[in-house]
Each structure stands twice: as C-alpha cells, then as structure tokens.
Amino acid sequence: MSNMLIKMKVNGTEREVLVEPEDRLLDVLRDDFGFKSPKEGCGTGDCGLCTVLMDGKPVLSCVTPAFQARDREIVTLEGLNDDPLMKNIEASFRDHHAAQCGFCTPAMEIMGYDLLKAKSKPTKEEVKEAISGTLCRCTGYYDIVDAIYDAGGSE
Ligand code: FES
Ligand code: FES
C-alpha cells in the first residue's frame, strides 16, 4: 500500500488528507488538522488519553491507522464545544475541580459524554467502568467520577 488521499469528516467539516499506511489517526488530527485535545500519553493503546469518537464510538487514535478513518466521522472535544451535554460535563468538571494538570481531561470528558449519551443517569459504578481505561496521574479519580455522575443528573 502506498500513499492515499482519504476523506473524513472531522468535527463537522469534510477534510482530505494524504496518508501513509503507517500514519496514525492521532497525528493526522493533531498535526494535519490542528485538533490538540487528543493527547499522546503512551502511544501504545494503554492510557486512553488519545480517545476520540469515530462514528459516535470511542476509539484510541494512537493505535488507529489514519486510513481506517476514511469516510468516517471523527469528533474530538473541539467538536463538542457547543454541545449542551458537553457544556454540562465541563461545568461539572470545574465545580468538582476534576481537572488538575488537565492532560487527561479531554479524554475523560469524551468518555463521560459517551456514557451519558447512552445513559443519562448512570450509577457511580457505571461511571467508574466507563473511565476505567482512561488514566489520570493527578486526581485519584474520585473528583472525575463525581463530575461525570453529577453531570448526568443522578441523585
Ligand atoms: S496515547 Fe493512545 S492509549 Fe495512550
Ligand atoms: S488531571 Fe492530570 S492526568 Fe488527570
């Protein structure tokens, strides 16, 4: 396989990019398109910090070849700035001081969004499960779990 020109919709806009077979979706999003919210923590599929939505499902963009996004719809945190649910989640993160260094925050918020889209009032156990693959080196997770839980409107 050689270079190929692929199209994908990113945060609502059709994009074209020339990719090599080994190019990672993470690098295309950050370097070609300038969306810096997906972070590289490990680069090996272990930390979850590079998570984005592909056709509405979370994927690890560091282990997703860019060509797999061909004709797909990709959403990063930047694409959810005006989304009411994401605004709730972000406000709840602020209220709970759930972002310390902030490096994991975009991925945590994406995972919270994915959960709350599917279930508006999850239990704390379900919140913990939803973020179990997303690593945070700062918070001890409690504030993040509380932030997502409260954003869901649970009692
Ligand atoms: S950077 Fe992708 S899982 Fe860690
Ligand atoms: S707030 Fe620093 S890694 Fe989570």
Q: Where are the domains of the chain?
A: 4-79, 82-151
Neighbours of 4 (CB within 10 A): 14
Beta-carbon neighbour count of residue 2 at 10 Å?
Answer: 5
- Give, in words, the CATH class of 82-151: mainly alpha
CA angle in degrees (0–180, nearest 5) for 36-14-25: 40
Residue 155 pLDDT level (bands cut at 50, 70, 90): very low
Task: State the CB neighbour count (10 A cutoff) for residue 9.
Answer: 16
CATH placement of domain 4-79 = 3.10.20.30
pLDDT at residue 49 is higher than 90? yes
Distance CA 127, CA 110 (A): 12
pTM, full prediction: 0.96
Question: Does 78 contact ligand 1 (Cβ within 6 A)?
Answer: no
From residue 126, alpha-carbon distances to 76, 93, 147, 150 in Å are: 22, 17, 13, 13
* Residue nearest to ligand 2 atom 2, measured at CA: 101
Q: Is 117 helix (H, G, I), strand (E, B) or coil?
A: helix
Q: Within 13 Å, how many C-alpha atoms sit on residue 115's CB side? A: 28
The answer on pLDDT for 54 being more than 80 is: yes
Per-residue pLDDT tens over the stretch 72-83: 999 999 999 999
Asked whether 37 lines ligand 2 (CB < 6 A), one says: no
